[in-house]
Structure 1
């Protein structure tokens, strides 16, 4: 038996096949990405299966780019699935709101409810839903299961999830939800395998185009930087992160409407907005433009500041873990954050940190460090496959 996992975004589609033999396999038998969904250029398909790698360019011919992506994937999936039954398709969905705190088999009613949450995650939710519909048409005979990024944070305490607003608004669902939950759940699983301190005081940093921190104790999320929407907390690739609400009131008084504010906060801020160049940290590192350096320094400062706040909420720090595109590959960022957290007992092995970028989980702390430091490549697909398998078993 096999579960196909799908992470449909605005510009890319990630997919993976996980064998099911009582439990989900540690790694996918096939995994890949289709990039270029939003551009006019041909789609770029890349995949890996064991030691094999492949790439292909696909011209767009359909009105729906997901259909072109699916057509490109069909032969690849057919080759990978002979002799295997496709048990389900598990979809990453960013926002589950108050209603969905566990994986759920989707139908039209659920898709409609999830669509109502799109204003809270406009860069993700509409594309997650579009991906479910497209794959539903391609694989109508199997269950499609939504797995939510918000679920991992569902139990955070009231002092963390409530805003300082009238309680009536909180009862309407205006609260902190938190995101990147599938990634944090995977990090928890790996740390439980790798570290004797995994049940202690953890700060996990998912740093990429979307970025957040999570403070966890005994495997449970206690605090997180993202909030009601995917805008709060850290500065990100194109998102502002935490912002004085008075700025928005000021812009509204100048005549800015909802659409213009949403575009500013989600698409034109963050690393891109400050640098004026790019949302890509690699490009900013290579640039000699002063504002590129400023954007990097601001991003590093925000990560350090929020990591300190997480440690305060936890009453100290036992483990610091990095993941995500920046967290896994940017050794300079990891070094600067760790050096600024020395007051908490973090002592980084700088040579080891410099040599390890993204290939596999690795510890990066010196023996004298009272805090363990880890770099762990995330695998949100495996967690989604686990959730789907658990739901199917419970409903059997």
Structure 2
């Protein structure tokens, strides 16, 4: 039986899981903010396990397809991607280099979050910038694709529909939403980087570029702006909280304002996607740490969507049940626990099978 070690690098955490084919043997999540902690975790894993395959989640893949075999030919590609998305890809690239040394007999593959959104039409990818920049790859890509791939699969099973229309929300420290039309991504809130879109824990989401020009003129360096945008903004900077649970516990005006801003930004995207899908929505899907565990967020959003026929069962919502829509609701409302690691193994197993059959 083949074994798969999945390494899911976050900006401040490492989730890892070990599978024997599709059977999960081990799962852990370690929170860490320093590269040396990632390194020590990988060294410990290499002492305990010798998998056949090591799968690396890489957030930004631009237009590259995955699974991408990792070797001397593809490492420069991953290095270049790390320059574009320093928050996630830099950590992934560094850990991939180390993993090649620690697991020398394993086959290594990179799986990109951007893959899922390759079906987004060109008109939804374009920025209003010179076309020359678009040709150089400066366009909207979208992220959380591995999560959305899993959520789409589960939604199909629950709805009993092969090509559903969905508005999916991955709400965590990083947050995004995605419009799925007849089973394919047609728009998503994140763009060229994971900075665009919703208000997040440490990222501002949609921001007038003129603000950044103003700060540059005031003397901010590009490095200072990078830190501001990736780690020094969002809910943490607005309300002074470490996480969403703390925000909900607070009852002061600033915390309530930050919550309302979060919901308002989410409502704007969900409302827009409703019409992108021509008002034919089969289900709303909540996932991610906030989406799965915050009845307050789900109720606040769904209450505002009542004019569109959305109605939730309050008791089911409080219990974080899988289906929280009421019988009166014209749209299913789902709360699904995502599983990026399982999805990564599934993608690679399919890839191996197809390659084997083609040879």
- TM-score range (shorter-chain normalised) is over 0.9
User: Does residue 5 of structure 1 match 2:41?
Assistant: no
Query: 335-344 vs 280-289, which deviates more?
Result: 280-289
The whole-number CA distance in structure 1 between the counterparts of 2:46 and 2:136 is: 43
- 1:290 corresponds, among 221, 246, 253, to 253
Q: How far is the alpha carbon of 1:37 from its aligned partner? A: 4.6
Give aligned pairs, total.
354
**Which residue of structure 2 lines up, in the alignment, with residue 206 of structure 1?**
170
**What is the deviation of 1:311?**
1.0
Deviation (angstroms), 1:74: 4.5
- Report the counterpart of residue 65 of structure 1 in structure 2: 37
Partner Cα distance (1:37, 1:246) in 2:
31
Alignment of 1:266-345 (within 5 A): 266-275=230-239, 277-316=240-279, 317-345=281-309
The aligned counterpart of 2:154 is 190
8 Å CA contact 1:101, 1:154 repeated in 2? no
2:108 corresponding residue in structure 1: 144
Contact 1:4 1:15 in 2 (8 A): yes
Q: TM-score, normalised by structure 2?
A: 0.94
Q: Where in structure 1 are there 5+ consecutive unaligned residues? A: 39-62
Range that drifts further, 8-17 or 242-251 = 8-17
Kindly indicate whether the alpha-carbon contact (under 8 Å) linking 1:66 and 1:134 is maintained by their aligned counterparts in 2: no
1:258 pairs, out of 222, 242, 260, with: 222
Aligned residues of 1:120 and 1:230 also touching (Cα < 8 A): no
Q: In 1, Cα distance between the equivalents of 2:39 and 2:85?
A: 23
SS at match of 1:97: coil
- Corresponding residue of 2:139: 175
The residue that corresponds to 2:25 in the other structure is 29
Name the SS for the 2:73 alignment partner: helix
The answer to whether the aligner puts 1:95 opposite 2:55 as a matched pair is no
How far 1:119 sits from its partner (Å)? 3.7
Shift of 1:307: 0.6
Structure with the largest fraction of helix: 2
Query: Offset of 1:254 from its aligned partner?
Result: 1.5
Q: Is the Cα–Cα contact under 8 Å of residues 197 and 318 in structure 1 kept in the other structure?
A: no
Q: Which residue of the partner structure matches residue 132 of structure 1?
A: 96
CA RMSD of aligned residues (A): 1.7
Contact 1:88 1:388 in 2 (8 A): no
- Partner SS state of residue 226, structure 1: coil
